[in-house]
Structure 1
């Protein structure tokens, strides 16, 4: 029987120079310019994978099991260090009581989204829980994390339908409750969200997928509204450029 090669998830790295695919056959990593395969983990090593996240272009990957033949549980995030010799390349594990829906990395933090909660840990040395945020039902695990050194902006759905919450982790104190500020972006549930690399812009779309809106993170004002089309569509991921002239969406 031919081996399934389905893609369960796709993520770009922090500077969008690479992307990684979580697949039924493992993980594949590609360089973008020029477009070429950079590396892979086969099914024997990691099983089928539901989610994968890169950290820049380094040797660390965050993996979540999924698909038809997983080797790892969907309630755990495994950190894979490909630079280690031998077969023992799993160096960290974060385990929860409910399925992990998304993972985001930056050089000193990891963000893990469950259906109703967002966790932020220090990373990768001696991980410690820094923050915990409640959300409304978030079945897609929507969240994004700015990689900028100046802004550590975390973006996720607010408690109100169609709203965005933003927290600058630079200004928040670990272990204390930090009130996110809110943008009322849509009237219906969110389908996609993204923050640009500088943390100056956020983009969002509702589950209907017809309108994409961009907001300034300082003023919280809407800058532009783009119409993707009139027919509803599912949005899977978005990339927001450094200014309002660049935005990329993957739809079906």
Structure 2
């Protein structure tokens, strides 16, 4: 039987032999693309319309365990994995497809090397975050990369971490030291500064630099500060009673959603006040959540699990969510009351239960029709449209692994 390891918001990584050679799937920061790490290399896809935008073959990169895109730019972060890796699992290599030449040595422009396996990578236009099992490193990126700071963490075998993609806010979230808690590192940035540079497909050129972390970096809570020795009080949210299993930030970084290992509830918190905003119920039986994602305007949330179901919840108008029939009974005991007060999904659809998947929202076709995309490790692509009254129907199905190149990467 196959088992999977969820890396939080946008990705799922397999821990046993992969279906059709897929080792992990990741959306980019705005969910307009997804990248597929495979035994045979890397493939990059546009979501709507679905098309392959490029690939790196086995001769170039070997088998790959993790791949992360920087928006829709020419930069990819690669971590070796699978059965025949060319790169080490303790290194993150930055591939720049804008560099001339076809050999991998011409395209690899940056390397971060550690002493333990890399479990996750998160990127934005000014920083890269690299997650190990017990430590998280933050570097300036991509110009003149330097380590800004590092965090010791609770045992984090799933590499859980999320980084706000908006340049308007400096925000990083990962499991806190206390069981079931979330650690937030937050500071408002300066109106979209990018340090004097921009990134777009085929424009960015980064000199090769080898980066090795030093052991004497101070623990900083201020994500925008790089001055050594400065720090602030930890910002912790006690989200669950058991260990956190999935975590996700919305696009502006104002709300964080998380689920525990039990997988029955998803809780949303305000990242500034730490106040719990809403509690959403996936179901009553335990499940492993693979992915949680917000719609672009934070009006909806979707979540996938090993039950083979993708659930869709309303956030802007929570009255659209279903409630337990017991809510109409009246006063109940505290244990039942918690169950009754939870909000159930507005809509849901199923994918193959044995195949882990990531999910995200597509482009709205009209004011009253929204869509959710599910990408499965078995190579299938599912698109469902749903309406505020809970109707949910499949609009598209494809096998993305059978799609050929449409464009150069």
Shared fold (TM-score greater than 0.5)? yes
Question: Partner residue of 1:157?
Answer: 175
1 or 2 for the larger relative contact order (CA 8 Å, sep ≥6)?
2
Displacement of 1:240 in angstroms is 2.3
Please state if 1:247 is matched with 2:301: yes
Q: Please give the per-residue CA displacement for 1:129-156, whole angstroms capped at 9, x wherever unaligned.
A: 0011111000011000001121021011
Cα distance in 2, alignment partners of residues 199 and 247 from structure 1: 14
- Structure 1: 5+ residue stretches without partners: none
Structure 2 counterpart of 1:14, from 12, 21, 29: 29
Alpha-carbon displacement from aligned partner over 1:199-241 (angstroms, at most 9, x marks no partner): 0110100112111111111211111111112222222222123
Output the CA distance in 1 between the equivalents of 2:78 and 2:290. 18
Q: Helix, strand or coil: the match of 1:152?
A: strand
Asked if residue 54 in structure 1 is aligned to residue 69 in structure 2, the reply is yes
Match of 1:5 in 2: 20
Partner of 1:202: 256
- Distance, in Å, in 1 between the alignment partners of 2:149 and 2:293 is 25
Cα distance in 2 between the residues matched to 1:168 and 1:15: 20
2:126 is the counterpart of 1:108? yes
Is contact 2:250–2:298 with CA below 8 Å preserved after alignment? no
TM-score w.r.t. length of structure 2 = 0.59
More helix by share: 2
**Residues 71-220 of structure 1: pairs in structure 2 closer than 5 A:** 71-86=86-101, 87=103, 88-168=106-186, 170=189, 171-172=222-223, 173-174=225-226, 175=228, 176-220=230-274
The structure with more strand, counted as a fraction of residues: 1
- Look at both structures and tell me which one has the larger radius of gyration over its CA atoms: 2
CA gap of 1:59–1:243, structure 2 versus 1, over 3 A, is: closer
CA shift, 1:58, in A, is 0.5
Q: What's the CA shift for 1:30?
A: 0.9
Distance 1:22 1:6 in 2: 9
Confirm or deny: 8 A CA contact 1:202 1:240 kept in the other structure: no
Q: What displacement does 1:80 show?
A: 0.3
Matches of 2:97 and 2:134 in 1, distance apart? 32
What displacement does 1:100 show? 0.5
Question: Which residue number in structure 2 is paired with residue 29 of structure 1?
Answer: 44
For residues 181 and 197 of structure 1, what CA distance do their matches in structure 2 show? 20
Q: Report the secondary structure of 1:239's partner residue.
A: strand
Where does the alignment leave 5 or more consecutive residues of structure 2 unmatched? 1-17, 190-221, 307-409
Q: CA RMSD in A?
A: 1.6
Q: Which 10-residue stretch deviates more, 224-233 or 126-135?
A: 224-233
Residue by residue over 1:24-66, the C-alpha shift from the partner in whole angstroms, topping out at 9 and shown as x without a partner, is 1111111111111111111111111111110010000000111
**Aligned-partner SS, 1:40:** strand
The answer to whether the 8 Å contact 1:214/1:244 transfers is no
Q: Name the SS of the counterpart of 1:194 in structure 2.
A: strand
- Give deviations 1:100-145, integer Å, cap 9, x for gaps: 0100000010000111111000001111000111110000110000
